[in-house]
Structure 1
Amino acid sequence: MAVAGQVLRSEWTKIKSVRSTVWTLGLAALVTVGIGMLISALSRNEFDNLAPQDKIQFDPTFISFAGMGLGQLALIVFGVLVVSNEYSTGMIRTSLAAVPQRGIFLFSKITIATLLAFAIGMITSFAAFFTGQAMLGPFKASLDDPGVLRAVIGGGLYMTLITVFSMGVAAMLRSPMLSLGILMPFFFLVSAILGNVSATKKVGQYLPDQAGQKVMQVVTAGDDKPYGPWGGFAIMALWVVAALLGGYVVLKKRDA
């Protein structure tokens, strides 16, 4: 336990001393809240022009999270940098020499980064909700409406899991450029295509981001996904566990 505590403190020092990792968290919050406010304001102005079916499916809570798609970009970068920076600089050799217990090393790194992502994710999710609802005016939702609190908490959890998934992938690939070169197209191109093409839609709905975003939805009219909010969250969590296990196996078996 004493060793684990020392490693946790060491990883905290590493993260806070690298300015780029700190800035990415702030950028994630800023982008998520800012774009959410903008889309919410536009949605308020266009609500009267919506078709009747679109008005039924109007989800003011989910609309306030419209910026999360881009905000998660910064969280992906944060997760990748936390894990793979040491590989790109060669410091991983020193770290593993100091902490030969590779499981403790990886656990400590991921624990500190996850706690940071969780704190930022929750603050951002609540901030995005309240500012977005302020922009929606008469069409806003209230935090005590059915399903809303779950969706807002789910938004923070979603941001956390995206970060942890990125860390698991980075631990497997051990390169910031390769990790980002795979994760960015995966979330911003591949997932979108698979989820919107009828032939692949049934596959796309089980990808981590599409499944995880279900927990942020309150209005489910017109949604034909075969799982509920927490079911989608569980699917995303399984992806995260698989990525972490893969990262641990690679770290355990390969030299630095």
Structure 2
Amino acid sequence: MSSFPAVLTSEWTKIRTVASTSWTLAIAFIATVGFGAAFCALVNAGFDSMSDIERATFDPTLVSFSGMQFGQLAMIVFGVLVVSTEYSSGMIRTSLAAVPARGGFLLGKLVVATALALLVGLLTSFVAFFLGQAILGDRGIGIDGENVLRAVIGAGLYMALLALFSMGVAAMLRSSVASISILIPFFLIVSNLLSGFEATRKYGQYLPDKAGSKIMQIVPEAMGSAETPYGPWGGLAIMLLWVAAAVLGGYLVLKKRDA
């Protein structure tokens, strides 16, 4: 089973036979689409009461993805479980015995899980966009609008990269509880706190979620948000650096430590 195609097949079997990973992907889809639709309805109903800046920088595409802050938490859990479940169950010893090349083992796991996360992410982003625009009505925008397709595809990429980042962290920590206990507060609390205050915003804007989510905007400083020294692609590049660092760290830990 040491050939790479066999590794891919094995990892696919592991993922699809574990109910928790399937459920987390389903929750990521439902939360992102559901909360996004609800927020679109609220914005549409209260548009006239918004501030002048918010109306001037109104970004209908970004509003469709407002549920991402909830859906991304499920995608983080998915990434963690893909890696850490083998450690908690003790199956990691069997896996490494079957695939002695640890780099190939980790690469196969990351490739399969990231491809699945990307597929679900793209499905989520397109459904969230079209549903959101239907709710916004005349205030919505078409998929053929300037930079809209980039934002919709970028939202799917963002979800996949978030899962990949979480896999790298889980490979370093080798524990579901430790990984989730660090990642969820990091994205839910720390990131928002650093970005919410003027004194710390210059640091918070370089965190993976804040930088990566820039790809979902089609209007600069959308909805009155703070200006950043990078654009959509620059933000995605910053997120890629975070992901690369996490994956490299996970590989080094897997290579140097016993199962």
Bin for the TM-score computed over the shorter chain: over 0.9
1:54 deviates by: 1.5
Aligned to 2:51: 51
Structure 2 residue 187 is matched with structure 1 residue 196: no
Residue aligning to 2:105: 105
> Within 2, Cα distance between the matches of 1:147 and 1:8?
35
Residue aligning to 2:164: 164
State the SS of the aligned residue for 2:228: coil
> Within 5 A, what are the aligned runs for 1:19-98?
19-98=19-98
Deviation for aligned residue 1:49: 1.3
**Are the equivalent residues in 1 in contact too, given 2:72–2:159 (CA < 8 A)?**
yes
Percent sequence identity over matched residues?
61
- Give distance in 1, aligned partners of 2:52 and 2:192: 26
Distance 1:61 1:179 in 2: 32
Aligned Cα root-mean-square deviation (Å): 1.1
Q: How far 1:84 moved relative to its partner?
A: 0.4
**50-59 vs 116-125, greater mean Cα deviation:** 50-59
CA distance in 2, matches of 1:53, 1:176: 42
How far has the Cα of 1:26 moved from its partner?
Answer: 0.9
Question: How far, CA to CA, are the matches of 2:95 and 2:144 in structure 1?
Answer: 47
Q: TM-score, normalised to structure 1's length?
A: 0.98
Deviations 1:125-179 (A, max 9, x none): 0000000011111100111111111110100000000000000000000000000
1:226 to 224, 229, 241: 229
How far, CA to CA, are the matches of 1:11 and 1:51 in structure 2? Answer: 50
Partner Cα distance (2:53, 2:199) in 1 = 24
Residue 2 of structure 2 contacts residue 98 of structure 2 at CA under 8 Å; is this kept in 1? no
Which ranges of structure 2 fall in alignment gaps of 5 or more residues?
none
- Mean CA deviation greater in 92-101 or 246-255: 92-101
Secondary structure at 1:200's aligned position in 2?
A: helix
- Matches of 1:26 and 1:159 in 2, distance apart? 13
- Return the match for 1:244 from 225, 243, 247: 247
2:115 aligned partner: 115
Count matched residues. Answer: 256
Deviation per CA, 1:21-75: give whole Å up to 9, x if none: 0111111101100010000011000011122221101111000001011001111
- Mapped partners of 1:149, 1:12: distance in 2: 30
1:253 aligns with 2:252: no
SS state of the match for residue 199, structure 2? Answer: coil
The AA in structure 1 aligned to 2:171 is A
**Structure 2 residue identity aligned to 1:86:** E
The secondary structure found in structure 2 opposite 1:199 is helix
The C-alpha deviation readout for 1:59-100, integer Å capped at 9, x for no partner, is 110000010110011111110000000100111111111111
TM-score, normalising length from structure 2? 0.97
Point out the more displaced range, 20-29 or 50-59. 50-59
Structure 2 residue aligned with 1:213: 213
